[in-house]
Amino acid sequence: MNKLELSPRLAAIAALVPEGARLADVGTDHAYLPVRLLLDGGIASAVATDVNEGPLQRGRETAERYGVRTILFRRCDGLADVRADEVDTVAIAGMGGDLIARILAAAPWTKQAHLILQPMTAQEDLRRWLLENGYRIAKETLAQEGKKLYVILSATGGSSTPYTPGELWAGRQTQGEDSPHRLAYLTDLIRRRRRALEGMERGSAPDPAALAAERALIDELEATKETWKTWQR
């Protein structure tokens, strides 16, 4: 039997799962993440959930193919049918940031869990929601598949110093952290914010305050990029 190989995105998520974790994989789809972690002996148990039956069936087929019989598959919305005493680590990947926030809001016990979150969109909205609702972002990492970069957040309950607008958009990293994709991420983010600014300026009645805020955001992101380049020399 061939070894189950994870995509770079899922491999980066797997690397953040603590040894011996009791994992909930929300929106599991093919269940590649829990199956691989159980095969490696990296986690103690796994619950895989999805709101639709199709992905759960694909997950069961993956587990059967690799001889993994200990995953609990549950059809539910987010964490609705997962108990706080069953898991200590929650992975939510491949969804929009707003949906991830909604799932967490419906399960406040996740403040006592280790969270690994991979939003496909609205990363800045998810960061803001976490910080405003009693969570602390402990670490961020980036994974690349093809030309696309994926943001992965590691979070838990707690508080942190307020984020600047640029940190809400680009995340917070410090000197010495290894992130080979950080410069490309910042460059792309600046490009997209400049495009947004141009669209605002071409509007029929541009809001001066909104324009000023967008320009200030771009300036901060540019400064962050230059600082990161200096750190990497």
Q: What is the pLDDT of residues 67-97, one digit of tens each?
A: 999 999 999 999 999 999 999 999 999 999 9
Task: Report whether pLDDT(36) > 70.
Answer: yes
CA-based torsion, 100, 91, 11, 179: positive or negative: positive
Q: What pLDDT is stored for residue 1 in this prediction?
A: 54
Band of pLDDT at residue 109, cut at 50, 70 and 90: very high
Q: Amino acid identity of 118?
A: Q
Above 80 in pLDDT, residue 223? yes
Interstrand relation of 89-95 and 114-119 (parallel, antiparallel or unpaired):
parallel
Look-up: residue for tokens 């039956």?
A: 53
User: What pLDDT sits at residue 215?
Assistant: 96
Pairing of strands 148-157, 89-95: unpaired
pLDDT band at 145 (very low <50, low <70, confident <90, very high): very high
Q: What is the pTM of this model?
A: 0.94
* pLDDT grade for 2, boundaries at 50, 70 and 90: low
